[in-house]
């Protein structure tokens, strides 16, 4: 549920505004999803626009049928609103009087994530070389790097990697100590340029006798073409302990065109089976899903089954790279399949890692004016997560609605979480001061209940999804939800929830009866003993 859905009375007339140094103003009070607005519609009278996030506390008073709300703001202002009608006053007050239980902006800081595995290894450290965003604007101020590599070496490696994105830790597998790193492509160019600091950084993660895998999310042909533009890939001669694997994951306009074709197919009202199947196949959407999941499974297999280290990159390291590192963690790490763990994953592997949400999600499938950088990269990732959730319905703490909610907020949100293209831009926009984090809202108990999977049972095992074409259906919850009613599915879901709750009640009663039976047997045994 969005904040706007909690607004019981969106408009009240004849409200009187009192504030310091201004005469009282009578006008119309309006509540939106982000502002409280009072307009008198009189000339030379300033309107009141108050952000909900600026409200620190409110008090309510009533005299007869007249209600008064005193709003105390974070900038120390105190505003009084006289509202005719007790019901209207209570509705306005309850709409803006919600408590932020946690500050989502500080819920998943790099230092907190580092502490989760720092006790299991001493081979890594936090580096503040990116503080101020001078070295790389798309990385966060704090990154995790091998302890044996100093910041001066990191600066040199940054000049050798696309956009300054040198290899950093993405995931630490506690089971065997193997890791996933991510980066931008090396800038080898046509002359085969090398960087010894880069080679040292990557090799610093290898253990004696171990080999590593470099998973390049581009085809070999595409990777070779980038050399003419100054890019490239790691040469075997300079990285002898690493095996390079190329996996072709599409990006940019190809993905955007795929989404447009898919949505067009879903909106086709001809009800012709051959036409539907032909259009669905022509969109290639499910092919992209298969390619991404296959690469993620490969990365997970290298980590868990072969005990090898992984470095993943494409060109920039901000799109397909993040899809693969995120999905590999969902396969390997049970925490990533919980609500808070998945939120931490989105923060760490997408927001802090510099996925350009502002560019990629500027427009969706209907707009005629297409820009170069638009692509449904994040939507594809969410679709892949849904595919795994569908195959392992009891292993995820969150449900499908949680993924749909994230999709909606990535494209349009009243919260600041997905605004901007990287941490540097969010810092310049001062989003932490001007907006509320999406996590502050979602993590309220009343909201979490809507996104909790009633079938969830903690599963500490690695889960291996099938990538066979027969196992990858269309995500109807996203692409067909406006084309057909979900009434019966919703009713079935509610019935399932009721059955599960009833089963829990019966199980609790069984446990009570068992305890009572055990107590009676104990008492009988004591009475029979001489």
Q: Is residue 505 part of a domain?
A: no
Which of the 8 DSSP states describes residue 21? T
Average of per-residue pLDDT across 188-203: 95
**Which of 272-286, 331-345, 358-372, 502-516 shows the lowest mean pLDDT across its residues?**
358-372
More reliable by pLDDT, 127 or 53: 127
**Same domain, yes or no, for 266 and 380?**
yes
Average pLDDT over residues 64-77: 85
Give the mean pLDDT of 89-95: 84
pLDDT at 58: 87
pLDDT band at residue 57 using 50, 70 and 90 as cut-offs: confident
Asked if residue 139 and residue 278 are part of one domain, the reply reads yes
Is a pLDDT exceeding 90 seen at residue 156? Answer: yes
Q: Is pLDDT at 392 greater than 60 in this prediction?
A: yes
Is 193 found in the same domain as 86? no
Residues 282, 366 share a domain: yes
pLDDT digits (tens, 9 = 90+) for 161-192: 999 999 999 999 999 999 999 999 999 999 99
Could you tell me the CA-to-CA distances from 22 to 12, 27, 193 in Å, in that order? 21, 14, 68
pLDDT in tens, 110-128: 999 999 888 888 999 999 9
Mean pLDDT for the stretch of residues 42-51: 75
Return the pLDDT at 446.
Answer: 84
Assess whether pLDDT exceeds 70 at residue 6: no
| pLDDT score at 1 | 40
Residue of 350, 309, 318, 296 lying closest to 172 (CA atoms): 309
Question: Between the ranges 62-71, 85-94, 279-288, where is the mean pLDDT highest?
Answer: 279-288
pLDDT tens-place string over residues 123-142: 999 999 988 888 888 999 99
Q: Print the domain residue range for 253.
A: 110-480
Mean pLDDT (whole number) for 270-275: 89
Whose structure tokens read 């007249």? 66
Q: How many CB atoms lie within 10 A of CB 429?
A: 14
Beta-bridge partner residues of 365: none
Same domain, 143 and 47: no
Q: Are residues 353 and 470 in the same domain?
A: yes
Last residue of a domain, one of 480, 495, 515: 480
Domain membership of residue 524 (yes or no) is no
User: Would residue 199 count as lying in a domain?
Assistant: yes
User: Do residue 90 and residue 114 come from a single domain?
Assistant: no
Give yes or no: residues 191 and 61 share one domain: no
The last residue of a domain, from among 97, 124, 145: 97
- For residue 269, name the pLDDT band (cuts at 50, 70, 90): confident
State the average pLDDT for the chain.
91
**C-alpha distances in Å from residue 16, one per residue of 12, 40, 97:** 11, 9, 20
CATH of the domain at 17: 2.30.29.30
Residue after which a domain boundary falls, among 69, 97, 125: 97
**Total domain count for the chain?**
2
Mean pLDDT in residue range 241-263:
94
16 and 116 share one domain: no
Residue 105 is assigned to a structural domain of this protein: no
Determine the pLDDT at residue 530: 59
Give the integer Cα–Cα distance in Å for 337 and 142.
Answer: 25
Three-state DSSP state, 174:
coil
The H-assigned helical ranges of 226-367 are 253-266, 273-283, 285-304, 320-332, 339-346, 357-360
Residue 71, pLDDT > 60, answer yes
- Would you state the structure tokens that stand for residue 514, as one six-digit string? 């068992």
pLDDT at 44: 62
Write down the pLDDT at residue 305.
96
């Amino acid at each position: 549920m969005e904040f706007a859905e909690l607004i019981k009375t969106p408009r009240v007339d004849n409200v009187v505004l009192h504030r310091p140094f201004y005469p009282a103003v009578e006008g119309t009070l309006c509540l939106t999803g982000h502002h409280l607005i009072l307009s008198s519609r009189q000339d030379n009278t300033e309107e009141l626009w108050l952000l909900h996030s600026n409200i620190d506390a409110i008090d309510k008073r009533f005299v007869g049928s007249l209600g008064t709300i005193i709003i105390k703001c974070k900038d120390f202002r105190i505003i009084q609103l006289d509202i005719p009608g007790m019901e209207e006053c209570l509705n306005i007050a309850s709409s803006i009087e919600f408590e932020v239980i946690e500050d989502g902006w500080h819920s998943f800081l790099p230092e907190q994530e580092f502490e989760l595995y720092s006790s299991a290894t001493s081979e890594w450290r936090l580096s503040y070389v990116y503080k101020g965003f001078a070295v790389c604007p798309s990385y966060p101020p704090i990154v995790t790097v091998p302890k044996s590599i100093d910041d001066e070496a990191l600066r040199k490696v940054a000049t050798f990697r696309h956009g300054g994105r040198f290899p950093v830790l993405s995931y630490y597998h506690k089971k065997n100590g193997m890791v996933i790193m991510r980066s931008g492509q090396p800038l080898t160019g046509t002359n085969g340029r090398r960087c010894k600091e880069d080679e040292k950084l990557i090799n610093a993660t290898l253990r004696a006798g171990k080999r590593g895998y470099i998973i390049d999310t581009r085809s070999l042909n595409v990777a070779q073409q980038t050399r003419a533009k100054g890019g490239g890939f790691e040469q075997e001669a300079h990285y002898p302990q690493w095996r390079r694997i190329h996996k072709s994951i599409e990006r940019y306009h190809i993905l955007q065109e795929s989404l447009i074709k898919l949505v067009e197919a879903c909106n086709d009202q001809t009800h012709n089976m051959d036409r539907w199947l032909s259009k669905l196949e022509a969109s290639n959407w499910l092919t992209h899903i298969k390619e991404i999941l296959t690469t993620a499974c490969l990365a997970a297999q290298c980590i868990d089954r072969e005990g090898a280290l992984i470095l993943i990159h494409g060109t920039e390291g901000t799109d397909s790279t993040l899809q693969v590192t995120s999905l590999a963690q969902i396969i390997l790490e049970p925490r990533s399949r919980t609500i808070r763990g998945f939120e931490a994953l989105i923060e760490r592997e997408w927001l802090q890692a510099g996925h350009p949400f502002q560019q990629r999600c500027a427009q969706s499938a209907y707009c005629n004016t297409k820009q170069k950088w638009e692509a449904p990269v994040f939507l594809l990732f969410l679709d892949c997560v849904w595919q795994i959730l569908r195959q392992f319905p009891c292993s995820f703490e969150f449900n499908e609605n949680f993924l749909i909610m994230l999709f909606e907020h990535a494209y349009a949100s009243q919260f600041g979480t997905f605004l901007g293209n990287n941490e540097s831009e969010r810092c310049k926009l001062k989003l932490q001061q001007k907006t509320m984090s999406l996590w502050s809202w979602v993590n309220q108990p009343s909201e979490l209940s809507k996104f909790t999977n009633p079938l969830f049972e903690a599963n500490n095992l690695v889960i291996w999804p099938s990538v066979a074409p027969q196992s990858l259906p269309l995500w109807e919850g996203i692409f067909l939800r406006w084309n057909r009613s979900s009434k019966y599915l919703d009713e079935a879901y509610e019935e399932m929830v009721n059955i599960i709750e009833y089963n829990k009640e019966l199980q609790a009663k069984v446990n009570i009866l068992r305890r009572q039976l055990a107590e009676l047997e104990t008492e009988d045994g004591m009475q029979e003993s001489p």
